[in-house]
Structure 1
Amino acid sequence: MTNIKDVAREAGVSVATVSRTFSGSTPVSEPVRERVIQTARRLGYRPNALARSLRGEGTKTLGLVIPNILNPFFTTVARAVENAAWDEGYSIMLGNTGEDVVKEARYLEDLLQRQIDGLIISPVRSDSGHLRSLVEEVPVILLDRTAQGVEAPVVRADGRRAVGELVEYLASLGHERLAVISGPRATVSGDERLSTFVEVARRKGLSVPPEYVRVGDFQRESGARAMRELLDLDELPSAVFVSNNRMAFGALREIRARGLSIPEDLSFASFDDVGWFDLLDPPVTAIAQPVVQLGTAAAGMLTKLLAGERVESVIFDAELVVRGSCAAPPKRSGRDRSRESA
């Protein structure tokens, strides 16, 4: 990792001159300033944002990088982050990765070049290598998802208890064949929701065979594809759990396209509770996260880091919200019903 001494040596100036160049504390001649900046760019050096902030030299700008601005969860989180940051005198620069690792890396590079004071990020993958060196350049808060090898505070909702309650609820209704449409296992949220659902189901003696487990990418199209694959099976599941609201939207459209009814033919539940779930007929059973609290906490944690305070990770609980989309399983399979209605 390039440091200020490397820049000073390559530029042929003192460390103090490099420091003055970036801090603007005292004037530096234009030729020297240009030489230092060009050397820093060539070596990939950036002034430490935390050190600048502690000296009162920050830009008062925070970066927020999220996977999908179309996802109501992240839309609400972003608004909460912005409001909380604004109250502390910071503005937000937003990056929307679209669950694309390459795009994420480009956004991070751009935000660092713009000298943000700190960063809140929900990583595309937990194993992305470019995230590991990030905390050495700028204070970081991980939002909703963790990252391997990144030593940074995390703020997220733990959905395991609520997912377990959902499985137990479905079991109490008499369901025996459960299916799940999961997010990517490379994300902590995708892996946690899938592993918890399957583990609790098996502990209750319920069947979750491999063909009932489908993996999407948290996008609407993958939810539709996964549901299509489930509905094409010879024996349909009696209940389906989808692990985020975007995939749930695609899955619901596919169910309707097949002429099936919820919950008469198939019980349905989703992780993430969005505003339109309770407007549907029937309203959708969902696992709700404290979205506004997550965004507010993330911004508050980052501003505390920038003030030199110690910050610990914050884990909220998710909550099961039971509505009308789950009922006792049908006496005959949804597949038989769809054939009769064809």
Structure 2
Amino acid sequence: MTDGNIIKYFNTIHKLGKPGPGRIKGSSVTIKKLAAILGLSHSTVSRALNGHPAISQSTRESVLQAAKKYGYIPNSAAQALRNATSGAFGVIIPDIQNDFFISVTNAIAREAGKRSWQMILAITEDHPDTEYHVLRRMMAASVDGIIIAPSANPLPETRELITRTHAVQLLRRHDGIQAPLIAIDDRYGISLATVHLRRLGHTRIGYIGSSTDLSTGFERLQGFLQHFSSAEQAALKDIIHIGPPQAEFGTAAFKRIMSVDHAPSALVLGSPRYAMGMLTAAKALRVRIPQDLSVVAYGLVPWGSLLDMQLTTVVLPEKEVTDACVDMIRHIMDSELTLTHDEFIRSTENQLFTPRLALGDSTGVNRSER
């Protein structure tokens, strides 16, 4: 599948994902709700939707118009998934600025192109309403399966829809979603960085990480905190900052960390997006790395080769995650899809891949706590 096709699919689903006029925002429309809206019985609406000959043409048309207006998705979509394949699958991610998501999506798209599958890509920007509407449209298109990086708070309707398809959670895990997981052991990855710095003699270590509302942010923070006692954690409160995975936040957080009376001798970055802003700010503040501050980045920094130094980095298992996603799509698309949702979950194991630490020039022995 070419990049142009990916963009075309994204544009299509992005437009379709927005609630149309008259639709019930954030609501999963059922036959009972349609019946209540139309003032008809549940059985009459059901028969009209199924083309029963006992239902008049005018009633049938009214029901179909209402179903279209309010975005009703028939439960038969789940049966269609089990009885036939559409040759299409969905990928739902929060953005296309994250290099990891881009790599995974490109690999899946290449596999789809080889096999003449149709890949429908949707971007949610982590908005639960958008997430629900793009998922609903994919379900209406009878996709054979979905890979989704869920938002922090998916709507109940989203969680219900996922039970009606073969879905896999990518990188992020939400306990309310019944779907297997393909992810990275984030807790272990940040633990590697923290242990490395402690072995170099650093005890006052700062941390900049992403929101703990997401499983990735929570696991990374726990990987950091687990190496400090309760008393040590309390002493580090002023140099631990949690926020969005954006360069601007990383820059602001770094400046706040370095402005405290007792600045840290080391810093762990919980996202590669923080690195550029942090290093630029360090240069402006004349903070030398690693002489004044040892730094470990989480995930490869795309422009890292342009630096005068090589960053000490937690290298993420990108290929392993990508291969697992491609294998999962092959499994979903190549199978006869005779499994129910529960059977699919029972037959599919969670896959958690391990990062590794790559030593560079940005960390060194702590010579004195400042």
Pairwise same-fold verdict (TM > 0.5): yes
- Stretch of structure 1 that moved more, 142-151 or 8-17: 8-17
1:1-342 correspondence runs (5 A): 9-11=43-45, 13=47, 17=51, 37-42=64-69, 44-47=71-74, 48-58=76-86, 60-125=87-152, 128-202=155-229, 209-305=236-332, 307=337, 308=339, 310-331=347-368, 333=370
Counterpart CA distance in 2 for 1:12 and 1:180 is 56
Q: Cα offset for 1:52? A: 1.9
- 1:224-283 CA-partner distances (Å, limit 9, x unpaired): 111111111111111111111112332222222323221122111121124433442211
Q: How far off is 1:298 after superposition?
A: 2.4
Q: How much has 1:192 moved relative to structure 2?
A: 0.6
Residue 338 of structure 1 corresponds to which residue in structure 2? none
- Distance in 2, matches of 1:116 and 1:126, equals 23
The Cα shift of 1:130 comes to 4.4
Q: Distance in 2 between matches of 1:160 and 1:225?
A: 24
* Whole-angstrom CA distance in 1 between matches of 2:120 and 2:60: 27
Deviation at 1:285, TM superposition (A): 1.4
Say which SS state the counterpart of residue 13 (structure 1) adopts.
helix
Specify whether residues 13 and 131 from structure 1 end up closer, same or farther in structure 2 by C-alpha distance, changes over 3 A only: closer
Alpha-carbon distance in structure 2 between the residues aligned to 1:132 and 1:113: 16
- Cα distance, 1:210 vs. partner? 0.7
Q: How far apart are 1:4 and its partner, in Å? A: 7.4
1:165–1:140 distance in 2 versus 1, CA, 3 Å: same
* Matched length: 322
Percentage of pairs with the same residue: 26
Q: Provide the C-alpha distance between the structure 2 equivalents of 1:252 and 1:170, rounded to a whole number of angstroms.
A: 18
Q: Secondary structure at the match of 2:250?
A: helix
Is the Cα contact below 8 Å between 2:187 and 2:222 reproduced in 1?
no
The CA deviation at 1:181 is 0.6
Deviations 1:275-312 (A, max 9, x none): 43344221111112222332332243245345346322
CA-to-aligned-CA distance 1:110-154 (integer Å, 9 cap, x gap): 434444332211122156544321313332111000112111011
TM-score (norm 1): 0.81
Kindly state the Cα deviation for residue 186 of structure 1 after the two structures are TM-superposed. 0.5
Q: Is the 8 A contact 1:139 1:302 kept in 2?
A: no
Name the SS of the counterpart of 2:226 in structure 1. helix
Between 1:255-264 and 1:318-327, the stretch displaced more is 255-264
Q: Which whole-Å CA distance do the structure 2 matches of 1:297 and 1:140 have between them?
A: 14
1:74-105 per-position Cα deviation (integer Å, ceiling 9, x unaligned): 11121122223444442222222333444434
Unaligned regions of 5+ residues in structure 2, if any? Answer: 1-27, 36-41
The alpha carbon displacement at 1:56 in A equals 2.4
Q: What stretches of structure 1 of length at least 5 have no aligned partner?
A: 19-29, 334-342
What amino acid does structure 2 have at the position aligned with 1:177? R
> What amino acid is aligned across from residue 63 of structure 1 in structure 2?
G
Maintained 8 Å contact 2:131/2:154:
no
- Tell me if the contact between 2:163 and 2:178 (Cα under 8 Å) persists in the aligned partners: no
Instruction: Report the secondary structure of 1:300's partner residue.
Output: helix
Aligned partners of 1:153 and 1:311 also within 8 Å = yes
Distance in 2 between residues matched to 1:285 and 1:230, nearest whole Å:
20
Look up the equivalent residue of 1:328 and give its one-letter code.
V
Decide whether aligned partners of structure 1 residues 331 and 13 sit closer, same or farther in structure 2, where only a CA change above 3 A counts. closer
Structure-2 change in CA distance of 1:208 and 1:67 (3 Å): farther
* CA spacing shift, 1:263–1:255, aligned 2, 3 Å: same
Cα deviation 1:34-62 (Å, max 9, x = unaligned): 5564343356432454532333252x222
Matches of 1:55 and 1:101, distance apart in 2:
30
How far apart are the structure 2 equivalents of 1:34 and 1:128? 31
Distance 1:258 1:299 in 2: 45
